[in-house]
Structure 1
Amino acid sequence: MQNVSGGGDVPVVNPSTVAAGAARPAHLGDFHLRPRVLLITALAVPVGCAAAVAAFALLRLIGLITNAVFYQRLGTGLVAPGAAHHPWWLVLCAPVAGGLVIGVMARFGSEKIRGHGMPEAIEAILTGGSRVAPRVAVLKPVSAAVSIGTGGPFGAEGPIIMTGGAVGSILAQSLKLSADERKTLLVAGSAGGMAATFNAPLASILLAVELLLFEWRPRSLIPVATAVAVSTVCRSFLLGTGPIFGVPPSSGAPGPLADGLALVPGLTGGLLAIAATALVYLAEDAFALLPVHWMWWPALGGLIIGVGGLAEPRALGVGYDVIGQLLTGHATAALIIGILVVKTLIWSLSLGSGTSGGVLAPVFMIGAALGAAEGGLLPHVAPGFWAMCGLAAVVGGVMRSPLTGIVFTCELTGAWNDLLPLAVASVSAYALSVLLLKRSVLTEKIARRKLHLTREYTTDPLETFFAHEVMSHDVTVLRTAETIATVLPRTGYATLYPVTDDTGRLVGVTSRRALLTRAGRTVQDTITPVRVLAHPDDTLREVANKLAAGHVTGAPVVARGEPGRVLGVITLPQLLHARRRDLYEEGHRERLLTTRANGRGA
């Protein structure tokens, strides 16, 4: 392995040009350069505004199509397809017609409009350099509006995640930005659209962190939070303020009994999440076996929706009115059971057809129906209390986002006094989902596209050690004037040797291989310019970044105030010390406290 040189146009480091006593660069792995963070934050402001406008336009377009299809009138207000009686043929055929339109749009417009938005946004981040085609910004919300407006049991949040993300991505693509900066603006648009749709700013930020950013760092969190704040303010002018499913205020916390019993909707919500996820991908596999082009699948999914609509018309559409009834305790037993069974089936099976629509609103409705159904068997706490627990549980289980499930429920209802039982329900459902299901409804789709995604965030072990703790202190330092014949016996298998001049100042590096190929000469003839310098107070993460940027696998360690004075050498194998320590702490088990009876002090 070559340690002293690398490919690419990487500038070399001249130790003599490093200012003595130079301050240690601010390690902001996040803030690398503060002006860049300020720039991306400034760009997040118009992205947040645009995301709010996009959310408003999408909701109005859904209302327009719903009114036109089911009520034969012009209007943009959100209405439920099943709120009035409709001819059976309309309930059955409207979703099929909507599916046909979506199939044509996907076939001849962009296949990216298929699906519920979040996996597509994740894929754009993971493999596409956070680039989203401009036509997706138009076709995705239109296709979702057609799907939901013709009775599709989906939510508006998935499409707005993709549309808001497209807005941020398009702005980023028009400027000279890095892939990470494009990702930040894409997620800022997605989170801004979520906040404007549900008036849930904190949950939208958490959703961005848990599902889209794959990090919790200031460089991305600050711009995303800025876009969410701006979008929420814009929403207040466009759609109003206050929780969209506000429940009557409670006089106090539910109490220990309710806190403990929240495990019931939590565990059952986890099981329901597992079943719904399995149904989605069972349906997807079944559609893939059909001897017809995928363009026709959404229409077949629409047929499933239509049949379900005949059984329970209130399961059609985005269903905000039904969610409101469930969360305020006004839903009838027939509606609760109908939603729990029919909504779960038609949502899971039709989503597998590749149609366009989001998952959050259906998950809200299914979870709230589960909790409401169990509320008849559990002690009464407050109207809609158990429905809220079921909602938080199913979100935590389906999305594998327990914090988002907790905060979303609180922001949607304003029931902050119920925070503890909601946490019990959401986290227990999340735990069950993790234990029994390999991947979530989001990550399974990513895995099926041959991509790997991890959502387990942990401290980088490279951040816990400094270079001086692992570097080689006793290194062989060669002089430029020495002959190769005299220094070869002092060299071994090490592949990096610092070279100094007669004054002891670092002037370059060499390797045993270079020495062997120039026998009979001096060390001066074998030196290579220093590409990377490390300092003893660099974290191993900083050292790893320097080695990667310099395309080398080792570097001299020099005093920060005296860049010509060699203190040691650090190489890639030494960076593994941090990983070995991390593995030791994870796997090594020992008893530290023992009884005196065993002959040891307590």
Structure 2
Amino acid sequence: MLAITALALVVGGFGALAALVLLRLIGLVTNLVFYQRFDTALIAPGSVHHPWWLILGAPVAGGLVVGLMARYGSEKIRGHGMPEAIEAILTGGSRVQPKVAVLKPVSAAISIGTGGPFGAEGPIIMTGGAIGSILAQLLHLTANERKTLLVSGAAAGMAATFNSPLAAILLAVELLLFEWRPRSFVPVVASVAVATVCRGYLLGTAPVFPVNASGLHLTPTLDVLAAVVGLTGGALAVAATWLVYRAEDAFARLPFHWMWWPALGGAIIGVGGLIEPRALGVGYDVIDQLLTGRATLGLIIGILTVKTLIWALSLGSGTSGGVLAPVFMIGGALGAWEGMLFPHAIPGFWGILGLAAVVGGVMRSPLTGVVFTLELTHAWGMMLPLVVSATAAYALSALVLKRSVLTEKIARRGLHLTREYSTDPLETFFAREVMHPLAHDEALTEHDDITEILLGRLTGSADALLPVVNTLDGTLVGVTTRRRLTGIASPHTVPSTVREATLPCRLAVQQDQTLRQVAYLFAETGLTSAPVIDPTTRRPTGVITLQQLLHARLHDLTEEHHRERVLPRQADGEPTPALGVTAG
């Protein structure tokens, strides 16, 4: 763990640099295309009036370039980054091609800089992950260690982009690591810490969307209405997710190569830009207006409709860009619109709740949504309504949709991914609890006569494992089966002993090992049964088989589905007394 943590510190620094490079590239392309100047500052494409042909043509040209880069560079740059990182972890041994580290940020900068309504976070996750993976591939590491460095780079880039260290760590745990263990958690935190410190020197330490929440006074009414915002945000998340994959299905039916799809998606973006120019680009300035209560009704409605449509439809074309910034904008617009009907709290209060709700619904990561929102705005007093809003959206999304915008993409590639984490039931039972215990006469000694044993002592399957012990101290010396004993005894007329039928014991399970450990041992050795021993005396106490490992699964299944009344209605034939009334 310590060696990987040391490497993660290096990955964190490079992840922060990658975030800076990506943001500067986006700013450079935006300025060159829409303002015809050489500048790297982030600026929205629609902040001034542009000719119609530029708004319509720039996204098409950008989509065409991205399609060519994907076709002749690497197809891995298609999409919004996080599913690609998950796929590399699940099926690729956490190996990312080095060229992805270059092509992904360049393609994302072209896509976003030419007006694409996407965010920088997905590409930086893939880019930072590629940096960690490349370093790991240069060294002699396991797949799990490569995964840790890949996720460390992804989380570092995320933290440096948004100045959100805790949200980046939660994102890593909820979406990428598929575990919560010190061996991976500690390196990820180390990487994120370095990236956040570097972010302070490179981009500053201020929140990305600062909100003044000093005058906030929470009431029960606000908390109840936060649930309403959460439910409507969840409904919008469901609709947007559905629209993304219907668009992907529609593009898949087109009679020409996928290389041309991003250009067609760019045409959709251009038409949307003609209707609402502020919907183009990454839109950090628009998000700031929505979260500080400065957005007009026209901007709110334009973002809520146009941004949602062009983002979902163009994302289905397979172009390069992230989902978080558009989700921030769409959620903020929904909350700001609802805030015109709800009681006033502080400027931007309802927009902030809408942002957390749609993130919780689209990403199915409510904790990340809450912490992300708090770190983006520093509105720490809003924690409770944010939790209510994000959780309500998450619950609605989980009930209505089978998979999220991330896991649906993984499923369409033929992979199964669960986002429901629970304690492994194999970890809750010990071998001694499920083994077949050895009766006194079931322990065979080396000098036992096989014929006598076969005549009266053995029952059960012919291939069941039988421990053989030392005659003097009872310690395990090997194993045999009834079938083997029969084979040894049959051709001989002279008495045969158990020693002649005894094989060396390839695996002895200790009685205090968990069933998970036993399952790993079975997988490693290819065995399906083993003697269970007392680690102190080395004497066998039972036999455990692969079938008995299912006991834990059966117990888990029973606890989940078996319903029963625990407290009876009557005791000893007498009615149960009412609460607060003493019997007798």
**Pairwise same-fold verdict (TM > 0.5):** yes
Give the partner amino acid of 1:587: H
Distance (Å, rounded) in 2 between the aligned partners of 1:293 and 1:266: 40
Counterpart pick for 2:478 among 483, 492, 508? 508
Provide the residue aligned with 2:339 in structure 1: 375
The residue that corresponds to 2:534 in the other structure is 559
Root-mean-square deviation over aligned CA pairs: 1.4
Deviations 1:356-377 (A, max 9, x none): 0000000000000000011001
Whole-angstrom distance in 1 between the partners of 2:64 and 2:519: 52
Give the match's secondary structure for 2:437: coil
2:561 alignment partner in structure 1: 587
Unpaired segments ≥5 residues, structure 2: 578-584
- Structure 1, residues 432-486: CA drift from partner, whole Å, max 9, x if none? 0011111111111111111000010001111212222222222522222334333
* More off after superposition, 292-301 vs 538-547: 538-547
Deviations 1:297-332 (A, max 9, x none): 000000000010011010000000100000000111
Deviation at 1:182, TM superposition (A): 1.0
Indicate yes or no: 2:168 matched with 1:204. yes
Contact 1:125 1:131 in 2 (8 A): yes
Q: CA deviation at 1:252?
A: 4.5
Judged with a 3 Å threshold, the aligned counterparts in structure 2 of structure 1 residues 522 and 601 are, in CA distance, closer, same or farther, namely farther
5 Å-filtered alignment, 1:388-403, equals 388-403=352-367
Moved more, 539-548 or 346-355: 539-548
Q: What is the 5 A alignment of 1:532-543? A: 532-543=507-518
Matches within 5 A, 1:98-113: 98-113=62-77
Q: 1:594–1:600: 8 Å Cα contact kept in structure 2?
A: no
Cα distance in structure 1, aligned partners of 2:574 and 2:93: 61
Cα deviations across residues 346-389 of structure 1 (Å, max 9, x unaligned)? 00000000000000000000000000011001111110000011
Are the counterparts in 1 of residues 158 and 164 from structure 2 also a CA contact under 8 Å? Answer: yes
Report what 1:27 is aligned to: none
Q: Is the 8 A contact 2:215 2:346 kept in 1?
A: no
Deviations 1:126-152 (A, max 9, x none): 111111111111111110000001000
Matches of 2:28 and 2:179, distance apart in 1 = 38
Offset at residue 394 of structure 1 (A) = 0.2
Q: Helix, strand or coil for the counterpart of 1:570?
A: strand
Aligned residues: 565
Q: Distance in 1 between matches of 2:576 and 2:136?
A: 63
Partners of 1:369 and 1:88 in 2: CA distance: 25
Deviation string, structure 1 residues 91-146 (Cα, Å, up to 9, x no partner): 10000000010010000000000000011011111111111111111111110000
Deviations 1:524-543 (A, max 9, x none): 23322222222222222222
Q: What are the superposed Cα offsets for residues 258-315 of structure 1, whole Å, 9 maximum, x if unpaired?
A: 0111012101101100110111011111111111110000000000000100110100
Aligned to 2:236: 272
Partner of 2:183: 219
Q: What TM-score, normalized to structure 2?
A: 0.94
| Partner in structure 2 of residue 242 of structure 1 | 206
2:380 is matched with 416
Distance 2:217 2:546 in 1: 54
Report the Cα distance in structure 1 between the residues aligned to 2:51 and 2:396, rounded to whole angstroms. Answer: 42
Q: Which residue of 2 aligns with 1:497?
A: 466
State the alpha-carbon separation in 1 of the partners of residues 465 and 140 from structure 2: 38
1:95 aligns with 2:95: no
Q: Which amino acid aligns with 2:8?
A: A
Q: Deviation at 1:596? A: 4.5
Alignment of 1:220-369 (within 5 A): 220-369=184-333
Structure 2 distance, partners of 1:516, 1:240, is 80
Q: Work out which structure has the larger RCO, using CA pairs closer than 8 Å and 6 or more positions apart in sequence.
A: 1
- What is the distance in 1 between the residues matched to 2:576 and 2:503? 58
On the 8 A contact 1:154/1:361 being kept in 2, the answer is yes
**Cα distance in structure 2, aligned partners of 1:73 and 1:62:** 13
Aligned to 2:92: 128
Question: How far apart, CA to CA, are the structure 1 residues paired with 2:567 and 2:500?
Answer: 61
Partner of 1:480: 446
Question: Which residue identity does 2:527 align to in structure 1?
Answer: V
Q: What's the secondary structure of 1:441's corresponding residue?
A: coil
Q: Distance in 2 between matches of 1:596 and 1:479?
A: 56
Q: Work out whether 1:578 is the aligned partner of 2:548.
A: no
CA displacement at 1:600 relative to structure 2: 6.0
C-alpha contact 1:479 1:499 (8 A) present in aligned 2: yes
Q: Aligned partners of 1:174 and 1:127: how far apart in 2? A: 19
Matched residues in 1 for 2:93 and 2:483: separation? 39
Name the aligned partner's letter for residue 465 of structure 2: L
Q: Which amino acid is 2:484 matched to?
A: A
Distance 1:459 1:558 in 2: 26
Match of 2:501 among 504, 520, 526: 526
Q: CA deviation at 1:546?
A: 2.1
1:6-17 alignment, distance < 5 Å:
none
Aligned residues of 2:216 and 2:345 also touching (Cα < 8 A): no
1:164–1:186 contact (8 Å) kept in structure 2: yes
- Measured in 2, the distance between the counterparts of 1:542 and 1:78 equals 52
Q: Secondary structure of the residue that 1:451 maps to in structure 2? A: coil
Contact in 1 for aligned 2:229/2:353 (Cα 8 Å): yes
Shift in Å, 1:71: 0.5
Q: In structure 1, what is the Cα distance between the partners aligned to 2:380 and 2:183? A: 30
The answer as to 2:29 corresponding to 1:59 is no
Which of 159, 170, 195 matches 1:195? Answer: 159
Question: Whole-Å Cα distance in 1 between the matches of residues 83 and 449 of structure 2?
Answer: 62
Q: In the TM superposition, what is the alpha-carbon distance from 1:53 to its structure 2 partner?
A: 0.6
Q: Distance in 2 between matches of 1:513 and 1:92?
A: 80
Seq. identity, %: 69
Range with bigger deviation, 419-428 or 523-532: 523-532
> For each residue in 1:485-512, what CA deviation from the matched residue of structure 2 results, as whole angstroms up to 9, or x when unmatched?
3333433316211112322221111123
Note if contact 2:468-2:476 (Cα within 8 Å) is conserved in structure 1.
yes
Contact 1:253 1:418 in 2 (8 A): no
